[in-house]
Amino acid sequence: MKLRNKYVALCALGLTIVSGLVFASGAAVSERQAETATIGGPFTLSTTDGNTVSDRTYRGKWLLVYFGYTFCPNSCPAMLLEIATALQQLGPDAGRVQPLFITIDPQRDTPQVIQQYTRSFDPRIEGLIGTPEQLAAAAHEYGAYYVRHRTGLGADDYVMDHSTYLYVMDPQGKFVRAFDAATSADQIAAALRELIPQASHQGSQGSKGSFGSG
């Protein structure tokens, strides 16, 4: 709980890119160390069809990466709706974007549940699952936070408290920016329209990245 409170406090102050990583590991780093850390990294997960995928599977696509769960009462469905609407607004350019919904609740989010959930928003949103260890490793790479809170005595009586950033990764797998939960579909689509043409100019240099809603 102390770690969660610290996480929320820093988010309110304008969490820097690497601060997210600091919270994922629960360690304090110096400003000099923060400058060299990154968001995103290698992961191995599975699609709802049972195919094993990694971060390299999606090279050549702009990724929208979100960590959530299907029983989420508000932030997850709200963000997936904005993503789906942004894809519609992008038109043909949406083919260069791959949204990924990575579950943080492997106990309840079975392949069938995840598949039905993501497709209810847009069939282009791909749901990814994995073992608790695989999911924790992926979340750590992105600095994503989540923890289970019991609500009763039953096996399924719990909710997941989690961070709500939508991470944008370029076609080389480099972190570009993150959108917070208040970001609208218009803002997501506008940012991607600006970013996609830049891919050929940036090459493999990547971007320093930023957090925000605009």
Determine the Cα angle at 68 with ends 199 and 44, to 5°. Answer: 60
Per-residue model confidence (pLDDT) at position 141: 96
Closest CA to 177 of 146, 198, 200, 147: 198
Question: For strand 44-47 and strand 126-129, is the pairing parallel, antiparallel, or unpaired?
Answer: antiparallel
Closest CA to 51 of 149, 147, 148, 130: 130
Instruction: Tell me the domain boundaries of the chain.
Output: 39-212
Mean pLDDT of 176-197: 96
Answer positive or negative: Cα dihedral of 6, 7, 11, 15.
positive
**Rounded to whole angstroms, how far apart are CA atoms 175 and 41?**
9
CA distances from residue 65 to 31, 71, 99, 193, 196 in whole angstroms, order as listed:
26, 18, 6, 17, 16
The answer on pLDDT for 169 being more than 50 is yes
User: What is the tens place of the pLDDT at every residue in 32-56?
Assistant: 333 335 899 999 999 999 999 999 9
Task: Quote the pTM value.
Answer: 0.77
Mean pLDDT of 3-32: 37
**Rounded to whole angstroms, how far apart are CA atoms 39 and 208?**
10
Per-residue model confidence (pLDDT) at position 20: 41
Class of domain 39-212: alpha beta
User: What is the tens place of the pLDDT at every residue in 106-115?
Assistant: 999 999 999 9
